[in-house]
Amino acid sequence: SMDPAKHDEL
């Protein structure tokens, strides 16, 4: 469940 365009990790 994630939006590939939004990687919130570093």
Interacting residues with another protein (CB under 8 A): 1-2, 4-10
In the complex, minimum distance from the CB of residue 3 to another protein, in angstroms, rounded to a whole number: 9
Strand runs (DSSP E) across 1-10, as ranges? Answer: none
Conformation bin of residue 9: beta by default, left when phi > 0, alpha when psi is -120 to 50: beta
Q: How far is the CB of 6 from another protein (least distance, A)?
A: 5
| Minimum CB–partner distance for residue 7 and another protein (Å) | 6
**N residues, the chain:** 10
